[in-house]
Each structure stands twice: as structure tokens, then as C-alpha cells.
Amino acid sequence: MSTSTPHLAAIGMTVADMAASLAFYRRLGLDVPAAADTAPHAEATLPGGLRLMWDTYETARAIDPDWTPPQGGTPTGLAFACEGPAGVDRTYAELTAAGHTGEKAPWNAFWGQRYAVVADPDGHGVDLFAPLDD
């Protein structure tokens, strides 16, 4: 019997439109090959080895025919560190200009960070943050 402790190795998200989702995350700097746009499953390995994985609704239904998309709320939230407060503002502006929904425009949070929230194509909240300048 192993005594090693499990560790977080991947975060999975189920998406309605693989190409739209991957385009969104490419804008945030993730390296996902273009061929993945039409695949039922895609992955990106992040610095440090953590993997972000996407599966289509069809893939989820193939695994479990009774599966249905989550209703209401945001089932997964991701946070991306930006280069300084201006990086938060710039990234938020680029994503919303590209048609993505801004859930909360950049603001100076009381915990000492510039913060903003944008929804990805499936409604997952994506936080953008950076420490405030001193």
C-alpha cells in the first residue's frame, strides 16, 4: 500500500464549443495546438506541471449518457496572474473587446490586488489579478 499523498495534477472543464473555449484561453497565453479546436479533448500543461483539460459536452455524454451541463453559477473558476495592475486592465480590455463578457471591471481590491473577472465562452469565471503598486 502506497503512503504517498495525492497531489493536484489537472483541472478539467467541460465546454460547449471547444474552438471558442481554446481561443479564449490562448488569449490568456496558454499554448494549445490549433488542431485541438476540433478534438473531443484538449490539454495544456502549465508552468509547474499542472494540466488544464477541456472536454466537449459530447465527450461527457459518451462517458455518462445521463450527464447534463451544470445549470446556474460558475462550476469552475480560474485565476490568471497579470503583469502589474496595467496588465489586468489591458487583458480585461482585450478580452471584452473580443466579445467576452466582463463580469466585474478592474478594481483595486481591499486585499491589495488589482482584480477583474471575465466569463469564458461557457460562463466559467476567469479572474485576472496583480499586486497593486506600492
Q: Rounded distance, CA 43 to CA 32, Å?
A: 7
For each of the domains in the chain, give its residue range(s) and CATH number, in order of start: 8-64 (3.10.180.10), 76-134 (3.10.180.10)
pTM of the model: 0.76
Q: What is the signed CA dihedral for 67, 68, 72, 74, rounded to 10 degrees? A: 50
Q: What percent of the chain has pLDDT over 70?
A: 90
* pLDDT tens digits, one per residue of 52-98: 989 898 888 887 788 888 776 556 678 898 999 999 999 999 999 99
Whether 4 shows a pLDDT value over 70: the answer reads no
Whether 3 shows a pLDDT value over 60: the answer reads no
